[in-house]
Amino acid sequence: MSFWRLKGRRYYAVGAFFERAFGQRAWKVSVDAGFDCPNRDGTLATGGCRFCNPASFSPSRRRPAGTIGEQIRLASARLADRHRAERFLAYFQPGTNTYGPLARLRTCYEEALDCPSVVGLIVGTRPDCVPDDVLDLLAELAQRTWVSVELGLQSIHDQSLGWLRRGHRHDASIDAVTRAKQRGLHVGAHVILGLPTETRDDMIATADELARLKIDAVKLHNLYVAPDTPLADDYASGRLVLPQREQYVDFVVHFLEHLRADCAIDRLSSDAPPDYLVAPDWCRDKAGVRLAVEAELERRDSYQSEKCEVGSEK
Ligand code: SF4
């Protein structure tokens, strides 16, 4: 039986994964290296994804960023003061953090790893932006530190990816995950639950596919509306109706039941800073969503992986 089940947990929270990997809690420090995105700079499109307001993703986009080393030193000192945090993961978060010349990528990642308390890298990117030479670089770094490539997979359904204006299809995600896994890299995936293009069964199909692909970690996002986005126009015009919290909790619980037991859950819901959130209101209370998911798993007497069909350990 999974160690997290033996500890009385109903899903594999990422904190438990980090404690196993690093012997104690590791804290993510968001790094803004100034990378652009092909879905914004005109390479694929200029408008970005339907939901994307870059300033809503990370505090670093709302204040001037220093060097990578300065960003890490400032944020880690704050966390050390507040939480006695000692180990940090440099999280290249805003933008597409593999989108640039290889030499620049190497310089950025190495600068983060030069910070003494950094024990690993998390590199957020798009599935269509991880060519072989970039994955080779990440695999080389993974020989001496912990490295995760975090892909904005979002959904396995091309109709949904089209609606989201992602600019890639699901076959790009399969290809990216396969090549990253061939190099032994840890792979995380972002998924949005509650898209108006999907039924609950469609969302479960995404979970089944993540299990088949042996994704190592998942970040679940409710669809939230940030200002100055096409999604905000949809919402204002009434074309978009967002799920209520109870519906979203139901989606999450069914999704978790279909994941592998060894897939760490990095996030159960998402929100934006107060001044960057149009709707839904309920997602401001992330702890409340987490407690509601745990209560629903309890009510169903169910667990992550309970309905996983690819034979992972329960
Ligand atoms: S891929 Fe990411 S950064 Fe680029 S437009 Fe979409 S959400 Fe924004």
Q: Is 60 exceeded by the pLDDT of residue 228?
A: yes
Distance 125 CA to ligand 1 centre (A): 9
Beta strand ranges found along the chain (DSSP E): 26-31, 87-92, 118-125, 146-154, 186-193, 217-222, 264-267
Confidence of residue 65 (pLDDT cuts 50, 70, 90): confident
Residue 74: both structure tokens together: 């400032």
Of 185, 184, 162, the C-alpha closest to 172 is 162
Q: Relative to the CA of 96, which ligand 1 atom is closest?
A: 3
How far apart CA 213 and CA 190 sit, in angstroms, is 14
- The CA 49 to ligand 1 mean position distance, Å, reads 5
pLDDT at 259 over 80: yes
Three-state SS at 125: strand
The answer to whether 263 touches 215, Cβ cutoff 8 Å, is yes
Task: Give yes or no for residue 39 CB within 6 A of ligand 1.
Answer: yes
The arithmetic mean of pLDDT across residues 228-243, rounded, is 97
Please report, rounded to a whole number, the percentage of residues in the chain having pLDDT higher than 90.
92
For residue 184, what are the domain limits?
Answer: 3-299
CATH number of 216's domain: 3.20.20.70
Query: Exposed (0-12), middle (13-18) or buried (19+): which is 84, by Cβ within 10 Å?
Result: exposed
Whether 254 is in a domain gets the answer: yes
The CA 271 to ligand 1 mean position distance, Å, reads 16
Joined together, the tokens standing for residue 52 give 């994307």
Instruction: Give the confidence band of 11 by pLDDT, cuts at 50, 70, 90.
Output: very high
| In-domain check, residue 9 | yes
Residue 116 lies in a domain: yes
What is the structure's pLDDT at 312? Answer: 65
- Which tens digits make up the pLDDT trace of 158-174? 999 999 999 999 999 99
Would you say residue 313 lies in a domain?
A: no
pLDDT band at 140 (very low <50, low <70, confident <90, very high): very high
Residue type, 226: A
Domain total in the chain: 1
- Element holding 16 (H helix, E strand): helix 14-22
The whole-model pTM stands at 0.96
- Give the model's pLDDT for residue 311: 67
Residue 312 is assigned to a structural domain of this protein: no
Tell me, yes or no, whether 198 lies in a domain. Answer: yes
Q: What is the pLDDT of residue 64?
A: 58
Instruction: Say if CB 44 and CB 165 are below 8 A apart.
Output: no
Going by alpha carbons, the residue nearest to atom 7 of ligand 1 is 52
Q: What number is the average pLDDT over the span 202-214?
A: 98
Per-residue pLDDT at 284: 96
Per-residue pLDDT, averaged over 45-64, amounts to 78
The runs of H, that is alpha helices, within 265-311 are: 286-299
Backbone Cα Rg of the chain: 19
User: Letter for the amino acid at 19?
Assistant: E
Report yes or no on 260 lying in a domain.
yes
- If you measure from the C-alpha of residue 93 to the centroid of ligand 1, how many angstroms do you get, rounded to a whole number? 11
Q: Does position 60 have pLDDT exceeding 70, yes or no?
A: no
pLDDT band at 56 (very low <50, low <70, confident <90, very high): confident
Angstrom distance (rounded) from CA 217 to CA 91:
14
Residue 225 within a domain: yes
**Of all protein residues, whose CA lies closest to atom 5 belonging to ligand 1?**
48
